[in-house]
Amino acid sequence: MQSDRILDAVGPSSRDLGRGLCIITGASKGYGRSLALQIAHLLQPRSVLLLVARSADLLQALQADLAPVAQHAGLLVRCLPADLSRKAGIDATVRAAKESAALDIDHVLLINNAGSLGDVSRFAMSFSDLAEVDAYLSLNVSSALCLTAGVLQAFPRRKGLRRTVVNISSLCALKPLPSWVLYCAGKAARNMVFRVLAKEEPDVRVLSYSPGPMDTDMQAQARSYSADPALKQSFSIMHSQGDLLSCQESGAKLMWLLLEDKFPSGAHLDFYELQRNSPAEFDFHS
């Protein structure tokens, strides 16, 4: 199996993620889709994979691709079309999680992946429309906080239950990029949200993971529309020289982190920083 090849190379502390409820937002394409395909191999039978995104059609296609793995592994895959920038979407996701999870689950894993790049064709001085900025922050910051709070309330602390929250972050949470004011601000705010959560809830495992520059639709958008010419050129060179990571490559590193489960709760870890710390023989492409 795919998971066996990964585990034989890495030798993590745990060989699977338990009998869990795993919620992945923004799961219909790109990085979220790749994570769903990878994590399905690491859940015990009778686990639930709850996939949330706006596009019902793309979720259905993903569910079909997951069907052979789910049948072999005894997983329930549930897809939920929802707009997480609205309260109804948050409520529907929490309700679906409570309805889907078996009573004997031992791990709740929430991966906050949903997000958007925002308008990178303009500089900060042009953002004078409060409603525009609020709409961006609603999806990219408020929804992650509200969904995380709702899931943790729905599955309170109890003996034998692990609770893990992952924030898919970015180097932009730490470094300002010209013409990326919305994206940088949103990622920085999310990073602090989850740092505070880690301080307040020491029994919850909290990780902000920066997956590195990946070959996704968002990267294509960045190459095409970034207003800063140096940034635009840098992304174009990375693409033309084949320096962008695949979603599978970056996702495999996140799987290793979750299986090892040794990261300091609340930490912000970057794919490239981890290159120095993970085993050289790790098979990223499994």
Given a cut of 80, is residue 14 above it in pLDDT?
Answer: no
DSSP letter string, 217-277: HHHHHHHHH-SSHHHHHHHHHHHHTT-SBPHHHHHHHHHHHHHH--SPTTEEEEHHHHTTT
Yes or no: say if 262 and 164 are a contact pair by the CB < 8 Å rule.
Answer: no
Closest CA to 112 of 238, 259, 254: 254
Confidence band (pLDDT; 50, 70, 90) for 102?
Answer: confident
Query: For residue 262, what are the contacts with CB-CB under 8 A and spacing of at least 6?
Result: 13
- 46 — alpha (psi -120 to 50), left (phi > 0) or beta? left
pLDDT band at 277 (very low <50, low <70, confident <90, very high): low
Q: What angle do CA 34, 216, 182 make, to 5 degrees?
A: 110
Residue 284 has pLDDT above 70, yes or no: no
pLDDT for 103: 83
How far apart CA 210 and CA 268 sit, in angstroms, is: 7
What is the pLDDT at residue 276? 54
For the record, the structure tokens of 80 come out as 């939920």
* Cβ neighbours of 136 (radius 10 Å): 22
Predicted confidence band of residue 104 (pLDDT cuts 50, 70, 90): confident
Give the C-alpha separation, 8 to 161, whole Å. Answer: 26
**Residues 147-157: tens digit of each pLDDT:** 999 999 999 99
Backbone angles phi, psi at 162, to 5 degrees: -90, 140
pTM of the predicted model over 0.75? yes
**Mean per-residue pLDDT of the chain:** 92
Q: Which residue type is seen at 214?
A: M
Quick one: pLDDT band at residue 172, thresholds 50, 70, 90? Answer: very high
Q: What is the pLDDT of residue 6?
A: 45
User: Of residues 190 and 9, which shows the higher confidence score?
Assistant: 190
**Quick one: average pLDDT of 65-69?**
96
Stronger pLDDT, 4 or 184, i.e. the higher one: 184
Q: Does the pLDDT at position 265 exceed 70?
A: yes
How much is the average pLDDT of 137-153?
98
